[in-house]
Amino acid sequence: MAQIYEILIAAFLVIGGVFGFVGSYGLIKLDNPMSRLHAPTKATTLGVGGVLIASILFTLMSEGRLSLHELLITLFLFLTAPITANFIAKMHIHRHETPESLPKVDEDQDWATLAREPKPEADP
Amino acid sequence: MRLLQRLVPHPILTVLLTLVWLLLVNHISLNSLVFGLFLGIVIPFITQPYWPDRPNLRNPGMILQYFGIVLYDIVVANIVVARLILFKRNAQLSPAWVCIPLDLRTPEAITVLAATITLTPGTVSADLSDHGHSLLVHCLDAPDPGAIRDEIKQRYERRLMEIFE
């Protein structure tokens, strides 16, 4: 029984490690800033996820109790990772994109980050 | 009934906070359950004035289904993107911006949609239009941007509509 646990734990650790590695490799290999942003999304989902599942299994094996602590890490990552990505993307739009280089907005005037300030009204 | 509504303005938030507390303690006992419930009742009660127009969540079954689908998609998309990074040369990738017109109007629902898009590898939500009617999404490899737009609308937005609106 212990052997099955050990194999499972090892497998999840390897999965987590591989996805963490591919995420970091992608960060170097891809060639433009927005594409690079995609690579770390893998490290934060399956990369961390694999390690956390391994950790749950390990406490189950060594202490015989179910420790679901680890789910909280996933929850907090899921709440914070999109915000970081969004900040970096907005930064990129500010510095490198123009309204012409982005697709046209269907219904509204502009993308919020690039929206022009409304003209100040003249003093009466 | 009215009193109960006044005391527990966000029932789902109450349950969620209690659960988070139990997970933080990492040990189930009557003590932590009572204190978790206490936090779950007091925090929504105090923060209630700061969150007007809260959306009414309907369809709890749909919430679970949505969660399952997103988890499944994260795993699948992870493998797809890992293969893109490892085996495709940069020149063969076609990154693209995609504009997704939104039918959702609730800010909370749009936030969930944008977070989902970012969490599934291969797509990152970057910006909203100035009145919040479209979402700007960047795709790592999108030979056919229209297909990605349709998939996001079909798979995620339709379900969120049923949950939030």
Chain A residues with CB under 8 Å of B129 CB are: 105, 107-112
Nearest to B50 by CA among B101, B10, B99, B102: B10
φ/ψ (deg, to 5) at B149: -60, -45
Helices A69-96, B11-25: axis angle to 10 degrees equals 110
Q: Are residues B76 and B155 in the same domain?
A: yes
Q: Which DSSP letter does residue B26 get? A: T
> What is the C-alpha separation between B123 and A41, in angstroms, rounded?
9
Let me know if residue B55 belongs to a domain. no
What tokens were used for B39?
Answer: 């936090």
Q: Are residues B89 and B152 in the same domain?
A: yes
Q: Angle B135-B123-A51 (CA atoms, 0-180°, nearest 5)?
A: 130
Using a CB-CB cut-off of 8 Å, the residues of chain B touching A89 are: 124-127, 138
B101 - beta bridge partners? B134
Q: Which helix (H) or strand (E) holds A26?
A: helix A2-29
CA distance B124 to chain A (A): 7
| Domain co-membership, B110 together with B38 | no
3-class DSSP state of A98: coil
Tally Cβ neighbours within 10 Å of residue B151: 12
pLDDT at B34: 92
Residues B43 and B117 in one domain: no
- How does A56-85 read in b/e, with b if 16+ C-beta sit within 10 Å? bbbbeeeeeeebebbeeebeebbeebbeeb
**Enclosing domain of residue B15:** 2-50
- Which residues of B fall within a CB distance of 8 Å from A41? 81, 118-121, 124
**CB nearest to A46's CB, from B75, B86, B133:** B75
B41 and B69 within one domain = no
Q: Are B70 and B123 in contact (CB under 8 A)?
A: no
Same domain membership, residue B156 and residue B85 = yes
The per-residue pLDDT for range B33-88, each reduced to its tens digit, is 999 999 988 888 888 888 777 777 777 788 889 989 998 988 888 888 888 888 88
Every domain of chain A and the residues it spans: 2-99+109-114
- The total of structural domains in chain B comes to 2
The per-residue pLDDT for A12 is 93
How many residue pairs from chains A and B have C-beta atoms closer than 8 A?
Answer: 135
User: Is the domain of B105 the same as that of B156?
Assistant: yes
The complex scores an ipTM of 0.80
For residues B38 and B70, state if they share a domain. Answer: no
Residue of B101, B126, B130 with shortest CB distance to A115: B130
Residues B83 and B19 placed together within one structural domain of the fold: no
Are B41 and B107 within one domain? no
Residue B58 in any domain: the answer is no
pTM (two decimals):
0.84
Identify which of A46, A81, A113 has the shortest CB distance to residue B78.
A46
How distant is the Cα of B143 from the closest Cα of chain A, in angstroms? 15
Radius of gyration of chain A, Cα coordinates, nearest whole angstrom:
22
The CA distance from B22 to A124, in Å, is 62
Q: Tell me the mean pLDDT per 10 residues along chain A, length 124.
A: 87 92 87 82 81 89 82 87 88 83 75 69 52
Q: A102: which DSSP letter?
A: S
Establish if B57 belongs to a structural domain: no
